[in-house]
């Protein structure tokens, strides 16, 4: 057991910390070195107490949800890696024409959707196929085509830098395409409230069926990956000239540009640009974070040279450089 794990285990005897935990067993990409100390925690007050202790003792803290949108360095993550598994779901009650529901950050996004549909509510169906948890989805403001998760969020409860717990309004969350305030502030999302309209189970199930079919047809779902590596690219007059089929769109799909650049199937080590969806990289065996970094650099450089477009990453890098 390493020193940090010993310190934490002594301070919190009831928790089961693990030393040098191999994060590649957790990440959807199957990539990443060890966490110095690792813990899963689901009880709200315990999460708050532990986070405050880490702040007081200057222990580096990294929060994980489902680990589906992260690339963990091959050298691992120093400090404590805390996976939130607080997965409560509550129907709070009516709010005008809508119904307010509350979900823990550690609730799987797919289960959030299923429970809202079971409660006769509509709005979140397209997010059923987004892997990971509510906290991670809010951090990134998960999207399905042009539908953003934030359109359904009412407010978010966080632990702030000095351990204060507070609810943030929708405006305070500063949601944008693939962005939120949490990417800047590093506040920890504890739970969130969503406001949803009443629906019918049949209609919801039809929306889920359509979205699931679309994903299966367009995404390499059977292979380890982090979903889209790149965001869609804001459209420009230059891109509109080259690709008039997107002239009336705000964004040009990143995967389209990568495909047009002839990069489908491009590979570094065991990491490959998917043949099915060019914005996805897949791990074909024992790919590493270093391989991903090399392939990202190659793809960005080629797309820039060919089309003058700058691809931006959608995934989050964690750990030692």
Binding region for ligand FAD (CB under 6 A): 28, 62-70, 84, 105, 130-133, 135-137, 139-140, 142-144, 182, 188-189, 219, 221, 225-227, 316
DSSP codes, 258-305 = HHHTT-TT-EETTEEE-SS-TTEEEE-SS--HHHHHHHHHHHHHHHHH
Which is nearer to ligand FAD, 246 or 317 (by Cβ)?
317
Answer yes or no: are the C-beta atoms of 71 and 317 closer than 8 Å: yes
Nearer of residues 144 and 167 to ligand FAD, judged by Cβ: 144
Residues 178-203 as b/e (b if ≥16 CB within 10 A, e otherwise) read bebbbeeeebbbbbbbbbbeebeeee
CB-wise, 53 or 306, nearer to ligand FAD? Answer: 53
Q: Which residue, chain included where needed, has tokens 């998960």?
A: 142
Of residues 17 and 127, the one with the C-beta less far from ligand FAD? 127
Smallest gap from residue 22 Cβ to ligand FAD (A): 16
DSSP state of 123: S
Task: Give 168's contacts (C-beta < 8 A, 6+ positions apart).
Answer: 155, 156, 157, 158, 181
Whichever of 28 and 243 has its CB closer to ligand FAD, that residue is: 28
Q: With respect to ligand FAD, which residue has the nearer C-beta, 9 or 124? A: 124
Cα atoms found within 13 Å of the Cα of residue 215, Cβ hemisphere only: 19
Beta carbon of residue 19, minimum distance to ligand FAD (angstroms, whole number)? 21
Nearest to 86 by CA among 128, 54, 131, 39: 39
Shortest spacing between CB 148 and ligand FAD, in angstroms: 9
**Angle formed at CA 149 by CA 90 and CA 203, multiple of 5 degrees:** 75
Residue 264 or 306 having the CB closest to ligand FAD: 264
Find the shortest distance in angstroms from Cβ 171 to ligand FAD: 19
Residue 267, beta-bridge partner list: 272
Residue 145 beta carbon to ligand FAD: minimum distance, rounded to whole angstroms: 8
How far apart (Å, rounded) are the C-alpha atoms in residues 166 and 40? 22
Q: Min. distance of Cβ 79 from ligand FAD in angstroms?
A: 12
Residue 64: CB minimum distance to ligand FAD, A = 4
């Amino acid at each position: 057991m390493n020193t940090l794990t010993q310190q934490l285990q002594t301070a919190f005897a009831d928790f089961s910390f693990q030393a040098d935990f191999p994060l590649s067993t957790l990440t959807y990409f199957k990539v990443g070195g060890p966490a110095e100390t690792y813990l899963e925690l689901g009880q709200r007050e315990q999460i708050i107490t532990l986070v405050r202790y880490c702040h007081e003792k200057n222990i580096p803290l990294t929060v994980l949800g489902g680990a589906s949108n992260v690339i963990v360095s091959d050298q691992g993550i120093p400090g404590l890696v805390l996976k939130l598994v607080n997965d409560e779901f509550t129907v709070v009650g009516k709010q005008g024409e809508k119904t307010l529901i509350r979900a823990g950050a550690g609730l799987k996004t797919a289960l959030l959707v299923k429970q809202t549909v079971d409660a006769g509510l509509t709005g979140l169906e397209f997010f059923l196929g987004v892997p990971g948890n509510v906290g991670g989805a809010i951090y990134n403001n998960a999207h399905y085509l042009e539908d953003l998760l934030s359109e359904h969020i009412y407010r978010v409860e966080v632990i702030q830098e000095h351990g204060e717990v507070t609810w943030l309004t929708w405006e305070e969350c500063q949601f944008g395409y693939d962005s939120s305030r949490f990417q800047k502030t590093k506040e920890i999302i504890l739970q969130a409230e969503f406001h949803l309209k009443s629906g019918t189970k049949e209609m919801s199930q039809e929306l889920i069926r359509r979205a699931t079919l679309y994903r299966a047809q367009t995404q390499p779902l059977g292979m380890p990956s982090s979903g889209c590596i790149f965001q869609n690219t804001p459209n420009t007059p230059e891109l509109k000239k080259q690709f008039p089929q997107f002239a009336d769109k705000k964004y040009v799909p990143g995967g389209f540009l990568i495909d047009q650049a002839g990069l489908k199937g491009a590979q570094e080590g065991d990491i490959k640009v998917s043949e099915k969806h060019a914005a996805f990289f897949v791990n074909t065996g024992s790919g590493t974070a270093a391989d991903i970094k090399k392939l990202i650099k190659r793809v960005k450089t080629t797309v820039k040279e060919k089309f003058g477009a700058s691809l931006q990453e959608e995934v989050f890098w964690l750990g030692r450089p």
